[in-house]
Amino acid sequence: MNDLKDKVAYITGGSKGIGFGIASILLKAGMKVAISSRLLENAEKAAKDLGPEDKVLAVSSDVSKLGDEQAAVKKILDKWGKLDVMVANAGVGHFAPVDQISDTLWHEMVNTNLNGVFHSLKASVEALKKSKGYYITVASLAGTNFFANGAGYNATKFGVVGFTQAAMLDLRPYDIKVSTIMPGSVATNFNGHEPSKGDAWKIQPEDIGELVLDLLKMNPRTLPSKIEVRPTRPDKK
Ligand SMILES: NC(=O)c1ccc[n+]([C@@H]2O[C@H](COP(=O)([O-])OP(=O)(O)OC[C@H]3O[C@@H](n4cnc5c(N)ncnc54)[C@H](OP(=O)(O)O)[C@@H]3O)[C@@H](O)[C@H]2O)c1
């Protein structure tokens, strides 16, 4: 996939944060990009900020619903005829002691973060077989480091890391590359956060975009399958 011009990417949860950052970098590299949100108006607003209609497609899809993801991929294939890169990025985080987390919030995390990445793969895998494409999940360092108040989020992100590694083994015979990116703190709206100047020490969303670009440009024979990425200098350390 060394020539990225006019390659087509679909990034779930591209209306803001890491997904938006990945979309902006892939567009600058000459790719066509579809972004999703649970609300079409959020995706459309972000798409307007990203670039022209022939290069950016806004779709509404709740990744917790397989049918939504299948409809989103169909829209992309109808518009551009192929799909080269699927980035399963959409995710939510709720943090509370395990005896206090509600089953509603637990299920929202499992349905979005874990079932969602499965739905995104299921909806895109036949197109990726045709294009010999790339499937990337955005997991987290929380997929390897557990912490107090993180039982639900940790469970989903440990799951995403295991899922992606097993999917890598299943899909490489089709020449589909599969990687999981495991970021530490990124300056986004995650968990209701408002990015500010105080977030300068954090990874910025476009840095994750640059990382995705590096993966896409990697020699076809080589696959970084699990990538941990963290702020160089954590806050106040
Ligand atoms: N920020 C961090 O420090 C950090 C660190 C490690 C990993 N991550 C992971 O990075 C990913 C992106 O998070 P972020 O930090 O960019 O958070 P964010 O700024 O809150 O963005 C989350 C994105 O996901 C979308 N989304 C949420 N639920 C969705 C659903 N059910 N279906 C479709 N889209 C959905 C949101 O769109 P709408 O609200 O418009 O629907 C939004 O575009 C998540 O998987 C998160 O776990 C974040």
d(CA 134, CA 10): 11
SS3 label, residue 18: helix
Residue nearest to atom 29 of ligand 1 (CA): 90
Helix 151-171 and helix 115-131: axis angle, to 10°?
A: 20
CATH architecture of the domain formed by 8-229 = 3-Layer(aba) Sandwich (3.40)
Residue for token digits 């649970």? 38
Nearest to 22 by CA among 214, 216, 213: 213
The pLDDT value given to residue 108: 98
Nearest to 137 by CA among 86, 65, 205: 86
Ligand 1 contact, 38 CB (< 6 A): yes
Q: Report how far Cα 46 is from the mean position of its chain's Cα atoms.
A: 16
Residue ID of nearest Cα to ligand 1 atom 7? 140
Distance 168 CA to ligand 1 centre (A): 23
Residue nearest to atom 47 of ligand 1 (CA): 91
Distance CA 67, CA 126 (A): 15
Beta-sheet strand order (sheet of 226-229): 56-60, 32-37, 8-11, 85-88, 134-138, 177-183, 226-229
Per-residue pLDDT of the chain (237 residues; tens, 9 = 90+): 668 999 999 999 999 999 999 999 999 999 999 999 999 999 999 999 999 999 999 999 999 999 999 999 999 999 999 999 999 999 999 999 999 999 999 999 999 999 999 999 999 999 999 999 999 999 999 999 999 999 999 999 999 999 999 999 999 999 999 999 999 999 999 999 999 999 999 999 999 999 999 999 999 999 999 999 999 998 876
pLDDT of residue 154: 98
Closest CA to 160 of 146, 189, 145, 140: 140
The finding on whether 92 has its CB within 6 A of some atom of ligand 1 is yes
Q: What is the pTM of this model?
A: 0.98
Task: Please give the pLDDT value at position 11.
Answer: 98
Amino acid at 185: S
Tell me if residue 134 is catalytic.
no
Query: What's the confidence (pLDDT) of residue 197?
Result: 94
Q: What are the helix and strand counts (H, E) for the chain?
A: 7, 7
Q: Which atom of ligand 1 is nearest to the CA of 205?
A: 16
Element (H, E) at 202: none
Residue 224 Cα, ligand 1 centroid: separation in angstroms?
A: 23
